[in-house]
């Protein structure tokens, strides 16, 4: 106790110590706790919040792959760089810019004679063509062979291709984007083959290559001139019905026959 400590300091200051002890007791200080004073007011203040941790360094930026086609040569640039049909075929097979390639079984490019006098361009491969990797081999292709034979042309003496090289799923009509993507390759095919006469079978092929808006019933039966920068001169072009359409509408074969006779006359040098 504080009282016993004060009494042990000697008799000379006994009276003074008693008075001081009485004052401490009255003040409520009746117990010695420590020799060093404690600031109770400071102790009662709330502790300051901890210093905020420094913000973590942002992670280094990750490399994001460029969108497909970004930074790559366009179909027009690729096609223009091909000097032979073999180079063009390899470029088409390697081309990744058309989404149809992802769902097709084969890339269907061409068939027949590379330097043919007559070039036939259709729309797109069907199921049979996709399976075999050759254009016009199904029922429509067999009818095309008979149509050519009717004007004394064998299939292996004609160059045959399509404006698309991959089958659209379910044989749906190609989109404008798909046509625009593949068209530079078809244009380069025409330039490298340089046929005397061009036959466009079906409205989609005719409109795409002649850049016309009319339907096939308006486009067929009339000679038009196809031209491109890589050709020495425009090529006489005849649009006619697609063999697949003629299988569904055999009554239109008479009109197609007239178109074929005009093609034969043009090849024989008898201009209409």
pLDDT of residue 73: 84
Its sign, for the CA torsion 140, 157, 129, 99, is negative
Is 7 a domain residue?
no
Residue 63 predicted with pLDDT over 90: no
Find residue 159's DSSP bridge partners: 112, 119
Q: Give yes or no for a contact between 198 and 186, defined as CB atoms under 8 angstroms apart.
A: no
Helix, coil or strand: residue 94: helix
Nearest Cα to 118, choosing from 270, 260, 218, 256? 260
pLDDT of residue 165: 98
pLDDT of residue 175: 97
Q: Give yes or no for a contact between 112 and 155, defined as CB atoms under 8 angstroms apart.
A: yes
| Average pLDDT for 73-79 | 94
Is 46 a domain residue?
no
Is 252 a domain residue?
yes
Instruction: Tell me how many domains the chain contains.
Output: 1
Q: Give yes or no for a contact between 228 and 192, defined as CB atoms under 8 angstroms apart.
A: no
Instruction: Give pLDDT tens digits for 178-231.
Output: 999 999 999 999 999 999 999 999 999 999 999 999 999 999 999 999 999 999
Is 231 a domain residue?
yes
Is 42 a domain residue?
no
CATH of residue 134: 3.40.470.10
Please state, in angstroms and rounded to a whole number, the distance separating the CA atoms of residues 158 and 153. Answer: 7
Side-chain half-sphere exposure of 212, counting CA atoms within 13 A: 21
Please state, in angstroms and rounded to a whole number, the distance separating the CA atoms of residues 16 and 19. Answer: 5
* Domain residue limits at 234: 75-267
Pairing of strands 197-201, 159-162: unpaired
Lowest-pLDDT range of 36-40, 52-56, 230-234: 52-56
Residue 47 predicted with pLDDT over 70: no
Q: Please, which residues have CB within 8 angstroms of residue 9's CB and are 6 or more apart in sequence?
A: 17
Is 3 a domain residue?
no
Is 197 a domain residue?
yes
Q: Please, which residues have CB within 8 angstroms of residue 57's CB and are 6 or more apart in sequence?
A: none
Instruction: Give pLDDT tens digits for 17-37.
Output: 666 666 555 655 555 555 565
Task: Name the percent of the chain lying above pLDDT 70.
Answer: 73
For residue 69, name the pLDDT band (cuts at 50, 70, 90).
very low
| Average pLDDT for 69-98 | 90
Is 184 a domain residue?
yes
Instruction: Give pLDDT tens digits for 118-161.
Output: 999 999 999 999 999 999 999 999 999 999 999 999 999 999 99
The average confidence (pLDDT) of the chain is: 85
| Average pLDDT for 238-260 | 97
Residue 104 predicted with pLDDT over 60: yes
């Amino acid at each position: 106790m504080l009282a016993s400590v004060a009494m042990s300091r000697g008799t000379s200051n006994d009276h003074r110590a008693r008075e001081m002890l009485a004052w401490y007791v009255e003040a409520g200080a009746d117990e010695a706790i420590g020799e060093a004073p404690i600031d109770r007011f400071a102790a009662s203040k709330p502790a300051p919040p901890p210093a905020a941790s420094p913000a973590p360094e942002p992670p280094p930026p990750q490399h994001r792959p460029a969108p497909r086609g970004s930074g790559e040569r366009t179909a027009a640039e690729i096609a223009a760089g091909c000097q032979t049909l073999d180079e063009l075929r390899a470029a088409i097979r390697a081309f990744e810019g058309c989404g149809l390639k992802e769902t097709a079984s084969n890339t269907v490019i061409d068939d027949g004679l590379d330097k043919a006098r007559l070039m036939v361009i259709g729309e797109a491969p069907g199921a049979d063509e996709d399976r075999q990797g050759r254009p016009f081999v199904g029922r429509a292709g067999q009818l095309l062979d008979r149509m050519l034979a009717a004007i004394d042309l064998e299939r292996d003496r004609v160059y045959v291709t399509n404006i698309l090289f991959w089958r659209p799923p379910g044989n749906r009509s190609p989109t404008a984007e798909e046509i625009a993507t593949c068209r530079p390759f078809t244009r380069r095919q025409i330039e490298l083959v340089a046929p005397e006469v061009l036959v466009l079978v079906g409205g989609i092929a005719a409109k795409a290559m002649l850049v016309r808006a009319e339907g096939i019933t308006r486009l067929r039966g009339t000679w038009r001139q196809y031209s491109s920068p890589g050709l020495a001169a425009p090529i006489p072009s005849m649009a006619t019905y697609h063999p697949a359409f003629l299988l569904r509408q055999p009554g239109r074969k008479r009109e197609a026959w007239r178109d074929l006779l005009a093609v034969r006359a043009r090849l024989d040098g008898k201009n209409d």
